[in-house]
Chains A and B, each alone.
Chain A
Amino acid sequence: MEDPDAPLVERARRGDRWAFEQLVERHQNRLFTLAARTLGSADEAADAVQEAFIRAWLGLPRFRGGSLFSTWLYRIGVNAAHDQRLKRRAEPLDEVREPADPQDSFHVSELSSALQNALNQLDEDYRVAVVLYDVLGCSYTEIAELTEVAEGTVKSRIFRGRSRLAELLGTRTAEE
């Protein structure tokens, strides 16, 4: 598969900061979404994203293009988020994008909040799998590569993660 990031990656590997800044611009929101949805905290997620980009910048010489740059970057992001979790301090997700339509604001924020609470209760493996697949649209192959498991395991984790999420959302709805 041809990597759309390849030209910028090649320049960044040679120390071209401008090229890397374009890669940051291109991937920062997806990486932030991944970190925020898996950590449940905007501040921790932003810290993880910053750490991930620094690791990527310094580690570019070791990136040989065997996978998509985005796959490699998300793997660094997952690891950075995991490291953040280890030094966790409980904070709610407090920074979400404003919806395009202000009339939907209330519903969207409620949905996001309920979903985030449910995501926070999922096992980390399931949470990462469903966010990568259902939120970011990564392929099984990409997820398998960046989480270092077989594609069948990825499918299983997505299936179980979705089911558990629905249970948690249903429970929450019932409680409310």
Chain B
Amino acid sequence: MVAETHPHEIELFEYAEDELPEARREEIAAHLATCSVCAEQVRQAATGREALRETTLLELPQGRHEEILRNLPEPERSRNEPRGFFSKQLLAGIAALLVVAALAAVLVKTGGNSGMESSAGGAAEATATSGGGGKTENAQAADLFAGGSAEVVAADLQRKGFDASVQQDRVVVHGATKAQVREALADRGPGDVEVVVKNP
């Protein structure tokens, strides 16, 4: 006897996957025993499943893996966001101190002290020259140099979320540690652009 109502294909799928309650499974099995149309559907689907499950994972070519990593852009999200564990409030305080320090530094430099590195208002600044022997250090050393022009290096650091600017052909970075800046500049290689890190 041929059943009058065919099960829905979702039920046929669930039957094939053994996901039906026992009672319904027996009803479907009884239907399949008498309905060649549904039985053929289930058989075909099982054949397709077996073919698919014989496949293996394909491996991304190694060159592509490296290309992906090489071409990952700097995320927009990092711009103007704090790095590390500094809170926004702390960074706001640091920024205020740096503004005071910068103003004081400008005043000192315009007052005839341009050949000396300065620190004021609790902000420490450290720089180094490429000559090695002429290194001048204050509270925190910052012997960082990077390849490219000062503008390019500053833009690179800004893209990476740093508060960086060009001042007198140097790149000045506020609110970060030397280690963070060094890490960010690692992919630029050596160069002549002096990078000064100011970190209260």
Show the binding face of A for B, using Cβ within 8 Å.
Answer: 15, 17, 20-21, 24-25, 28-33, 36-37, 42, 45-46, 49-50, 53-54, 57-58, 60-61, 95-97, 99, 108, 111-112, 115, 118, 130-131, 134-135, 152, 155-156, 158-167, 169-170
A37 to B68, CA, bound (A): 20
A15 to B83, CA, bound (A): 9
**How many CB-defined contacts (below 8 Å) exist between A and B?**
129
A54 to B10, CA, bound (A): 37
Q: Which of A15, A32, A57, A166 is in CB contact (< 8 Å) with B44?
A: A166
Given contacts A15-B161, A60-B75, A166-B45, contact A97 B9 (CB under 8 A): no
A139 to B77, CA, bound (A): 32
Show the binding face of B for A, using Cβ within 8 Å.
Answer: 9-10, 12-14, 16, 41, 44-49, 51-61, 64-65, 67-69, 71-73, 75-78, 81, 83, 160-161
Given contacts A21-B69, A60-B75, contact A165 B55 (CB under 8 A): no
User: Which chain B residues border A163 with CB–CB below 8 Å?
Assistant: 41, 44-45, 48
User: Which chain A residues border B47 with CB–CB below 8 Å?
Assistant: 162, 166, 169-170
A61 to B75, CA, bound (A): 9
Main secondary structure of the interface of B (DSSP, over half): helix
Q: Which of B53, B57, B68 is in CB contact (< 8 Å) with A53?
A: B68
User: Which chain B residues border A57 with CB–CB below 8 Å?
Assistant: 72-73, 75
Q: Are A115 and B55 neighbours in the complex by a CB distance under 8 Å?
A: yes
Residue among B14, B65, B67, B78 having the largest count of chain A Cβ atoms under 10 Å: B65
